Amino acid sequence: MTYDNITKAIFISRPNRFIAKVRLFDNQEENAKEETVHVKNTGRCKELLIPGCTVYLEKSNNPNRKTLFDLIAVEKETAQGQKLFNIDSQAPNKVVLEWLKKQDYSLIKPEFTFGKSRFDFYLEKVDSVTGKTEKILMEVKGCTLEIDGVGYFPDAPTERGVKHLNELSDAIGEGYKSVLAFVIQMEGVTEVFPNVKTHPEFADALENAKASGVEVWILPCKVKADCLEIVE
């Protein structure tokens, strides 16, 4: 997926989950006016959004919006050097849909309800030998937390994530193949582990889900300021 009208800025503060204060790169005078922007991620992102860091904004085409920009990416100094992190929480589903369309699924249906949960994708694939149709439920999670070259999820407690794992396990008993897909929203990371310290219940649910047959897919990405793409 690609973004239009990308602007570079300096992050100043985050008054709440939805907005941030930044200073545009082309207006760096000491008394320059701060710009209020929308943050496309309600997670904590405390390891990323540090005062003074470089962020990337997408300018909206809607002149009636309260905020003119969306904050979509941030630079962070890592053990591997300066790295760009996409933090757009809507991006993982979009790039997975693009990727799925390149695979050999006979049906791709976003937003599928099973039990008491709505999963990101319902897929069907026809076995070329037997002719049987495989039914697949997929839940997508974006990974933006990196520590020493390893990805972790979640960066904040997620009861919804625990619920999804439990229902993915239940679906296997009803004939579905169940998949949890982690989209890694930074380059140079190929592993994702449960963040036990932040949410031990999610870690337990993930282990139980894997034991019941839920598959975990790791989907690394190419990350640029103006694009995010799953690499194979």
Could you tell me which residues are beta bridge partners of residue 59? 69
- How many domains, the chain? 2
- Flag whether 184 is in a domain: yes
Give the model's pLDDT for residue 216.
Answer: 98
| 96 and 199 belong to one structural domain | yes
- Flag whether 1 is in a domain: no
Give the model's pLDDT for residue 31.
Answer: 56
Q: Where is the domain boundary, 63, 86, 109?
A: 86
Give the model's pLDDT for residue 81.
Answer: 87
Q: Of 113, 206, 196, whose CA–CA distance to 155 is shortest?
A: 196
Give the model's pLDDT for residue 8.
Answer: 94
| 34 and 78 belong to one structural domain | yes
Give the model's pLDDT for residue 71.
Answer: 98
Instruction: List, for the chain, all residue ranges whose pLDDT scores fall below the cut of 50.
Output: none
Q: Where is the domain boundary, 86, 106, 122?
A: 86
Tens of pLDDT along 12-46?
999 999 999 999 977 655 556 789 999 999 888 99
Sheet holding 215-219, edge to edge: 107-114, 117-126, 133-143, 177-184, 215-219
| 129 and 16 belong to one structural domain | no
User: Does residue 174 contact residue 136 with C-beta atoms inside 8 Å?
Assistant: no
Classify each residue of 59-73 as buried b or exposed e, where b means 16 or more C-beta atoms within 10 Å of its C-beta: ebeeeeeebebbbbb
Give the model's pLDDT for residue 105.
Answer: 96
The parent domain of residue 149 ranges over 91-230
CATH number at residue 78: 2.40.50.580
CATH number at residue 195: 3.40.1350.60
